[in-house]
Amino acid sequence: MKKKILITGGAGFIGSHVVRRFVTKYSDYDIFNLDSLTYAGNLENLKDIEAYPNYHFIKADITDEATINKLFEEHQFTDVLHLAAESHVDRSITDPLAFAKTNILGTMILLNAFKNLWSERWDGHRFYHISTDEVYGTLGETGLFTETTSYDPNSPYSASKASSDHFVRAYGETYGMPYVITNCSNNYGPNHFPEKLIPLCINNILTGKPLPIYGNGKYTRDWLYVIDHAIAIDLVFHKGENHETYNIGGFNEWQNIDLVRELCKQMDSKLGKDEGSSEKLITFVKDRPGHDLRYAIDASKINQELGWAPSVTFEEGLSNTIDWYLNNEDWLQEVTSGNYQNYYQNQYKGE
């Protein structure tokens, strides 16, 4: 049976890199990119592949049960790579119900549609759920998250993702659905919407705005280059064991303040500024509620079982990322100006 893979959230940051990899690498697969094109979904991310014959875009919302069921019946998707999610912790604090709706209900609607289509013939099909390390809660100064770490989410975002993980596993146990789950660390790289730390700081340096750092800046994250993440997703989809979880991390811990200082240093060099110029924009702001101190992933399982490892150091990946933004300032201006959102509201009026 020819693969007809549904990738949800494929116009978003991580999703667009996954879609590009599958479309260009697997010409014998039909790739269906389903995205509702909210503020973080941008078809400009995929302009380079939109004419490929095996690429198909569908504008739809995963919480629209009738539409999702109709699409599964019409296209007979053989597999699902589920990336669509509300994903920004700050937004989850101000609007938790939106996160519950998309991340929990949306996932269940997809699971149900997949179950209804293939429950009598599971062989050769797979539901791949992409999740986050934030479901594990927070770490102290030592230790790493493993695949067996107990869930302990601390924000509405991480709680909604933890719930969706549980539902995927429950469908596997109850209905025999073949699934895999991956929990990743913080991603960075090209096409990242500038509300997250790295693209926000790049944009603010370019526009001379303050670089906001929560609390004392000592919060620690493990950073994963998005292209390395797409490679890992490819490996897990094709070679991972059903009903298994794989943690994907960059082996790359940085405190926020040190990361921003490194970014400032590279920006000054690339922009021809005096060293230290951008660092003067650093501004410490009030901490956000429920802020996890440290995330760090033990990615030894995917390394040992599937042979995956990061391909770049953080400094190299950060340099590549900055270069992309400096070479794509039009993209950056569009997604921050509101023109992009207006365009798609007009483009898909009435749909």
Catalytic residues, by residue number, are 133-134, 157
Residues 6+ apart with CB under 8 A from 221: 185, 186, 253, 254, 256, 259, 294, 295
H/E element, 336: helix 329-337
| CA separation for the pair 152, 339 (Å, rounded) | 39
Residue 11: CB atoms within 10 A of its CB come to 26
Residues 6+ apart with CB under 8 A from 119: 175, 176, 177
115 by Cβ neighbours in 10 Å (0-12 / 13-18 / 19+) ranks as: middle
| CA separation for the pair 138, 150 (Å, rounded) | 11
Closest residue by Cα to residue 131 from 109, 152, 162: 162
